[in-house]
Amino acid sequence: MTKLNNTYPSIWHLAERARKRIPFFAWEYLDSGTGMERLVERNRAALDAVRMMPRVLSGRFAPNMSVTLLGETYSVPFGIAPIGLSSLMWPEAELILAKAAQKNDIPYCLSMVANQTPERVTEFAPDRTWMQIYPPSKVEILHDLLARSKAAGIKTIVITVDVPASSTRERQLAAGLTVPPKTTAKTLWRMAKRPAWLRQTMAKGKPRFRTMESYFPEDQMNEAAKLIANIVDGRPDWDYLDIVRKAWDGNLIVKGVLSVEDAGKAITHGADAIVVSNHGGRQFDAAPASIKALPAIAEKVAKRVPVIFDSGIRGGLDIARAIALGADFCLLGRAFLYSVAALGDEGGDHAYEILRNDLANNMIQAGAKTLGDLTAL
């Protein structure tokens, strides 16, 4: 890993490499936000603005970074967020990330609209897979997804509630992204310019929505995106959350909460943990930076349930900042996918290593021996 550490010492280096290694439409899909992308900028600026006071003469120590969350112990306070269509960025990215999660003792949250099934992913991460679900409008599909998850040995379901309807991703549209990718002259040219990606994609096949395809007819596969949008477009409400809670006796995490009131309500409706998230700035460009919403929610929740944070994390220091502001755990979406797009098989492990080392180093700089010692000014 030393060579990789020197060539790609940060998530930013990996993002730059990924941009040059995958087709333009795949890059735009991964990297973009919604609207003017002001929320993407706000997430970054607000994280940068979190200050921490270094404490000196703390002596030699190895920071303790392990955490127990919902009954499982993880090596570090972060995991891999659900990313739909992950195999567009790199074929079988889901399996690469699942292996890295199992090896490094972190959770990998599989998106229901990623390209591998919970059954397959749990072969690689039997103890570390979480399953993310967008609320299907047909409750039978919800029940089936929960039953499949349970049968695959998954103990934690993440229900994402911040997508009441799909948002406009202007950069994706302008880049000509369609799902599945259409072979127009322009996309062919863009793929031809990315030979490593193209070779891998030809070897493994175009990304398919393997988890969802059992819910739509085979001959309509080319309409996959539309069919999935119809399945998911349930405009769920609090009663829907009650249905999920009733149907699932494992851990239930509600992802995509920014308001203190909604956080309190999610707990009343049975959430075992919440994710403070604005979907990485991909849904509603007027929303607050996720890190700005965190402290009030953490205070309100005050140890009733764990608070997980995401949106904008690009290094171990950002994880330290979120923990200092009350998060118990963090998720990272783009950071892990940049790494897999840049490095293929080694991407999951390398992102983990960068983030863990950066968190440890910054804890030493701050004089924080434990995660609880991290405080913000």
Among the listed residues 135, 136, 312, 367, the single contact to ligand FNR using CB under 6 A: 312
Binding part of the chain for ligand FNR, among 64-72, 265-273, 279-287, 353-361 by CB under 6 A, reads: 279-287
- CA 363 – CA 66 distance, rounded (Å): 13
Does residue 317 touch ligand FNR according to CB under 6 A?
no
Of residues 28 through 67, those in contact with ligand FNR by CB under 6 A are: 29-30
| Site string (246-275) toward ligand FNR, x via CB under 6 A | ---------x--------------------
Stretch that binds ligand FNR, among 62-70, 291-299, 331-339, 368-376 (CB under 6 A): 331-339
Copy the structure tokens of residue 11.
């998530």
| Interatomic CA distance for residues 352 and 69, integer angstroms | 18
Query: Which single residue is written with the structure tokens 């330290």?
Result: 320
Place of tokens 């960068």: 354
Decide: helix, strand or coil at residue 204: helix
Could you tell me which stretch among 8-16, 99-107, 263-271, 326-334 binds ligand FNR (CB under 6 A)? 326-334
In angstroms, the CA 97 to CA 104 distance is 10
Burial class (CB in 10 A: 0-12, 13-18, 19+), 220: exposed
DSSP SS3 for 370: strand
Q: What amino acid is encoded at 55 in this protein?
A: R
| Least separation in angstroms between CB 260 and ligand FNR | 19
Q: What binding mask, one character per residue, do residues 73-102 give for ligand FNR by CB under 6 A, x or -?
A: --------xxxx------------------
What is the C-alpha to C-alpha distance for residues 250 and 199, in angstroms, rounded to an integer? Answer: 40
CA 27 to chain centre: 16
* Residue 59 CA to its chain's centroid (Å): 36
Size, binding site for ligand FNR by CB under 6 A: 23
x/- string (CB under 6 A) for ligand FNR, residues 100-139? -----------x-x------------------x-------
**Applying CB under 6 A, which residues contact ligand FNR?**
29-30, 81-84, 111, 113, 132, 160, 255, 277, 279-280, 282, 310-313, 332-335
